[in-house]
Amino acid sequence: MAEAAKATESARLKWKPAPGERVGPYEYWVRQTGLPVLRGHYVADVRTAELGWWAERECSAAFVDLQGQGSLMEGRITEIPPGVTLPPLKFGLDEVVYVLKGRGFTTLWRGDGEGKRTIEWGPHSLMLLPRNYTHQLTNAQGSETVRLLHYNALPMAMAAVPDPSVHFDNPYLQPGMIPEEETEFFAAAKMVPGRRRISVMWSGNFFPDLAVWDQLRRSESRGAGGSIVQFYFPGIPFNAHMSVFPKQTYKKTHRHGPGPFRPGALLVVVSGEGHTIMWPHDDEDAEKVVIPWHEGTIFNPPDKWFHGHYNVGVEPARYIAIQPPQHFSEHKSISIDVEYADEESWIREKFEAELAKRGLTSLMPPEVYTDPDYQWTYRDDEES
């Protein structure tokens, strides 16, 4: 680890923009850390992705800058060594964190320790680290590392205010959070009325295990007999949802828009095995991007790209989609779906070929390809 730390520090000290190279403040800061930046359309498994040693944070880490993020949102992987508590960090922006592997706890406080709260978490937990609070992350295991996936809007914030010291360890205190609210900060999530087309949402700052979350509602518009749950973080600009759909089925191809540019949601596979296919909406002849996925895969469909999700495994598939700030989400309420009867033949052929490799067959009812009003059967229908 000492050698990795020296290599990272050397990269930080040596890096300078090339003559004539224009580098924004966020990218400049990232490059100075010397840490890896994972690019492209997806990361096959963030649980095993290459990291670098971040001496300042006393952990291994890497940044994630997928094409669909539009360089507006930050993804970051943190790995905590066994039994280690990271140094306290005060961050001026809200940050959503998903636990990729391992068990530990988070401690949060204001100022010199006012309203200190601690929450335990494990694999598949989803939590909020609120802006202008100090937090400290601990790996509670003595022999295994912890890996966390962070998501925030630091690139946009640094585009407006380039000085990192404004965003990290700034003495400013958030006046909106009062002690009474803090005592409930990590309380159990509650069901609340939804907005627009969403009938209900679950509101909270901590969701303990999305791999077994069973408070779902039907999602009939996307087909496949799938279900969904909407997560709402009160008082911050982010939200998320989780989609669950049965084995050996696939959801309708769709895209978001129209509207002005927006970064796409960051999708994290919680469980299952399959693939996603996506391509630009305005170029049907463009090469299709095929993303094979399983637990730990992350990807980010670019703005207005068509994309479809295909479960070729023997268990239901689950993925969470962490949405960019609501300013951008307001422009994605319109979704353009491709009905099964209208999709191109290669979509179904690819799906069935992948199943055949595993000795499986499609569980898609033949009627979906001819009847646009086909009604899927749900488990509660079968049990009633």
User: Which of 182, 203, 238 is a domain's end point?
Assistant: 182
For position 166, what pLDDT does the model report? 94
Regarding whether 133 and 29 lie in a shared domain, the answer is yes
The answer as to whether 116 is a domain residue is yes
Residue 352 is assigned to a structural domain of this protein? yes
Domain range spanning residue 156? 2-182
Give the pLDDT confidence score for residue 183 in this predicted structure.
58
The mean per-residue pLDDT over the stretch 309-321 comes to 97
Model confidence over 96-110: pLDDT tens digits?
A: 999 999 999 999 998
pTM of the model: 0.91
Q: 58 and 142: one domain?
A: yes
When divided into structural domains, the chain yields a total of 2
Question: Based on the domain organization, do 81 and 214 belong to the same domain?
Answer: no
Looking at 20-24, 31-35, 343-347, 366-370, which range is the least confident one? 20-24
State percent of the chain over pLDDT 90.
66
Average pLDDT score over residue span 358-381: 88
Query: What pLDDT was estimated at residue 11?
Result: 46
Instruction: Answer whether residue 277 shows pLDDT above 50.
Output: yes
The pLDDT tens digits for 124-138 are 999 999 999 999 999
Domain boundary residue, one of 157, 182, 207:
182
Residues in the chain: 384
Residue 178 confidence (pLDDT) above 80: no
212 and 173 in one domain?
no
Domain end point (choices 182, 213, 230) = 182
Same domain, 207 and 150: no
- Verify that 233 and 138 share a domain, yes or no: no
- Decide which of 19 and 89 is more confident: 89
Residue at 383 is within a domain: no
Q: What is the pLDDT of residue 335?
A: 76
Provide the pLDDT for residue 111.
Answer: 84
Write down the pLDDT at residue 327. Answer: 64
Residue 220: band (very low, low, confident or very high) from pLDDT cuts 50, 70, 90: confident
Same structural domain for residues 60 and 88? yes
Domain harbouring 49, CATH code: 2.60.120.10
Q: Is residue 16 a part of any domain in this protein?
A: yes
Whether residue 301 is contained in a domain is answered as yes
Specify the higher pLDDT residue, 248 or 4.
248
For residue range 62-88, list pLDDT tens digits in order: 999 999 898 889 999 999 999 999 999
Same domain for 194 and 175, yes or no, is no
Q: Does residue 381 sit within a domain?
A: no
Range among 11-15, 80-84, 170-174, 194-198 with highest mean pLDDT value: 80-84
Question: Does 216 lie in the same domain as 155?
Answer: no
Q: Would 382 be classed as within a structural domain?
A: no
Confidence of residue 286 (pLDDT cuts 50, 70, 90): confident
Q: Is the pLDDT of residue 21 over 80?
A: no
| Across 222-246, average pLDDT | 90
Whether 380 maps to a domain, the answer reads no
pLDDT at 340: 95
Predicted confidence at residue 195, as pLDDT, reads 62
More confident call, 272 vs 285:
272
Burial of 264 from C-beta contacts in 10 A (0-12 / 13-18 / 19+): buried
AA letter at 259 = G
Mean of per-residue pLDDT scores for the chain? 88
> pLDDT for 186-216, tens place per residue?
777 888 876 655 567 899 999 999 999 999 9
Domain co-membership, 238 together with 130: no
Three-class SS string for 159-222? HHCCCHHHHECCCCCCCCCCHHHHCCCCCCCEEEECCCCCCEEEECCEECCCCCCCCCEECHHH
Two tokens, residue 219? 């999602």
Structure tokens, 224: 């496949």
CA-CA distance, 219 to 173, in Å (whole number)? 41
Both 172 and 101 in one domain: the answer is: yes
Residue 383 pLDDT more than 50? no
CB-CB contact of 241 with 316 (8 Å): no
Assess whether 227 and 337 both reside in one domain.
yes
DSSP 3-state of 229: strand
Quickly state the pLDDT bin for 15 (edges 50, 70, 90): low
Average pLDDT over residues 142-159: 96
Region 296-307: mean pLDDT is: 94
